[in-house]
Structure 1
Amino acid sequence: MQISLDSPPSAPQPANAYYSQVARVELDGGGVMLYLSGQVADGDTLAEQSRGVFETIDALLKAHGATLADVINIRTYLTDIGRLHEYGAVRREFLTGTAPTSMTSEVSRLFKPEALVEVEVVAAVSPR
């Protein structure tokens, strides 16, 4: 097993923080696990922020040879759980196949004061 940490230049870079956006775990059998840090995005509405988050996640996955179809787990943090349906509608635009395992939680705030949503994912990529 080999582990590498990365913030690929093809994706938006972390703002005002020191962390890696992707932990890539190369498994002995040839598969790869990708653990993405929580992502937030700019935008005036929850839908705009959600789209930005999934666009960033998509870019991070592509930088490591994966797609949104490889996502097996998703964790979502919303500042208002009553707006879950708004986020869910955007999520379904991006995750169109079999639904991954999921956790959604309401939080009082996120590290970026204007952020309404933060999403982190785990993806599993089979050997090709």
Structure 2
Amino acid sequence: MRKVLQPQSIPDPRPRYSQGILAEGKRLLFIAGQTAVDADNNVVGKGDAAAQAEQVLKNMKAVLDEAGASFADIVKITTYITDPRFRDDLNPARLKYLGDNPPASTLVVVAGLANADYMVEIEAIAVLPD
């Protein structure tokens, strides 16, 4: 079970993220920070935060698929970007993959990521029903 919590006393940020997610399940999936690399470890979308966000979420989908899960099972994501101007670049990919009832979310602007070409990294926690 996954229920979006949106208290009326605080702003509704949807469709970008949900204020809270109440989840019940039997298994937890912790997804490591995903970056914009392809299967050959090449950086996809150098200099393009939107393209990197798309690749990051494709990589996240691969992990979810391997676990028999979907984006609907994600209850929390943390997104790291290297420039606050990239925030709007994330939205098309986030809406495409996370849908209308997105997980709880935190956005962090950092000085850098593990590779100088990385602009976006996203980690997640999912709760699976069985």
> Which fold has the larger relative contact order, with Cα–Cα distance below 8 Å and residues 6 or more apart in sequence?
2
**SS in structure 1 of the partner of residue 86 of structure 2:** helix
Match of 1:103 among 85, 106, 110: 106
**Counterpart code for 2:50:** A
Runs of at least 4 residues off by over 6 Å: none
Q: Runs of 5+ in structure 1 lacking a partner?
A: 1-28
Task: Return the alpha-carbon distance in structure 1 between the equivalents of residues 85 and 45 of structure 2.
Answer: 19
Q: Does structure 1 residue 76 correspond to structure 2 residue 69? A: no
Q: Is the 8 A contact 1:69 1:97 kept in 2?
A: no
Q: Does structure 1 residue 67 correspond to structure 2 residue 70? A: yes
Q: Does structure 1 residue 43 correspond to structure 2 residue 45? A: yes
1:38 Cα shift? 0.4
1:83 to 1:123, Cα distance in 2 relative to 1, 3 A: same
Give a deviation string over 1:69-92, Cα, whole Å, max 9, x none.
111000000001122011122211
Q: Runs of 5+ in structure 2 lacking a partner?
A: 1-23, 37-43
Aligned length: 99
**Counterpart code for 2:34:** Q
Which residue pairs with 2:27 in the alignment?
A: 32
Task: Return the alpha-carbon distance in structure 1 between the equivalents of residues 62 and 86 of structure 2.
Answer: 26
Which residue pairs with 1:4 in the alignment?
A: none
1:121 Cα shift? 0.4
Task: Return the alpha-carbon distance in structure 2 between the equivalents of residues 109 and 92 of structure 1.
Answer: 25
- TM-score (normalizing by structure 1): 0.73
**Range with bigger deviation, 100-109 or 37-46:** 37-46
